[in-house]
Amino acid sequence: MRPSLADNLPVRRLAIVGAGLMGGSLALALRPYLDHLTLIDPHPHARQAAAGLADRVTADLADGVTDAELVILAAPVRAILRLVAELPAARPDGCLLLDLGSTKEIICRSMAAMPSQFQAIGGHPMCGRETAGFAAADPDLYRNQTFVLCRNGRTTPRVEQVSLAILARIGSRPLFLPPDMHDGLVGASSHLPYLASAALMQTAAALRDDQVWRVSASGFRDTSRLSGSDPAMMLDILLTNRTAVLDHLQKYLAELTAVQQLLQTGDEEMLAQWLTTAQRHHQVYKTKYE
């Protein structure tokens, strides 16, 4: 007999919208503790893949959330925005709501505008993989990873309590941030690195020489890894965090221009100083946070 969710969490019935990597991993991690799990996904192949895990699998939002105490939106950002707008009609009596979207300010504004019967908090687990889909789901994906929580005008102590209990169960470390601060930080630490990785891959591919792949080693593989991320997901992220990404991109281009000039002039002393400063920053962050 499965342990009851009531023994571990302050809710019994959960609906997850999105049966991909993030939603599927969350479902796998929580399944042993749930009395009832519903997975909602518009794609037939995703529903088929997840059919053996959930008590109910459906494409219909209203059908899926009808009796859920907590609804978790595990979808691309612009899909989450559509779902937030649709939920009041799909669930008129309201519910607890958490999302897993990669940008937070625009989602939290939408949550704050929901009817008062909804209790909502924004969330962003700082983990993931380049491989998308339910087949890549892993119940340990969230373990020992930071999970950002962002309060908004519909956040209550109740939804905070439930969200923190969920995070404790999946082994994540909660971090509360204002939505705008979150978007600025991940713009530099996540979204800009993706663009840099994609630019590197485009540069290498433009050589039109297969030898580049034969001589590539860990430096290229590590740096280009993010370019393999789902383009649809990254398009949503970049367009919904455009202001922060453009700001960080401008600073990044300034750094590239600076090192380009040092190479052009052959200024060995200044180039060595630039490289040493970057190495020192890396060592500080690695020592403090890894």
76 confidence band (pLDDT: 50, 70, 90):
very high
Q: Does 4 score more than 60 pLDDT?
A: no
9 confidence band (pLDDT: 50, 70, 90):
confident
2 confidence band (pLDDT: 50, 70, 90):
very low
The CATH number of the structural domain formed by 5-177 is: 3.40.50.720
Q: Does 153 score more than 60 pLDDT?
A: yes
Do the Cβ atoms of 146 and 126 come closer than 8 Å?
A: yes
Tell me the average pLDDT across 126-146. 89
CATH class of 182-289: mainly alpha
Q: What is the pTM assigned to this prediction?
A: 0.90
User: How is the chain split into domains, by residue range?
Assistant: 5-177, 182-289
Buried b (16+ CB within 10 A) or exposed e, 8-21: ebebbbbbbbbbbb
Q: What is the mean pLDDT of the chain?
A: 93
Q: Does 3 score more than 60 pLDDT?
A: no
pLDDT tens digits for range 38-60: 999 999 999 999 999 999 999 99
For residue 77, the model assigns a pLDDT of 95
For residue 7, the model assigns a pLDDT of 53
For residue 246, the model assigns a pLDDT of 98
Residues sharing a CB contact under 8 Å with residue 225, sequence separation 6 or more, in sequence order: 130, 197
pLDDT tens digits for range 96-113: 999 999 999 999 999 999
The position carrying tokens 């930071």 is 146
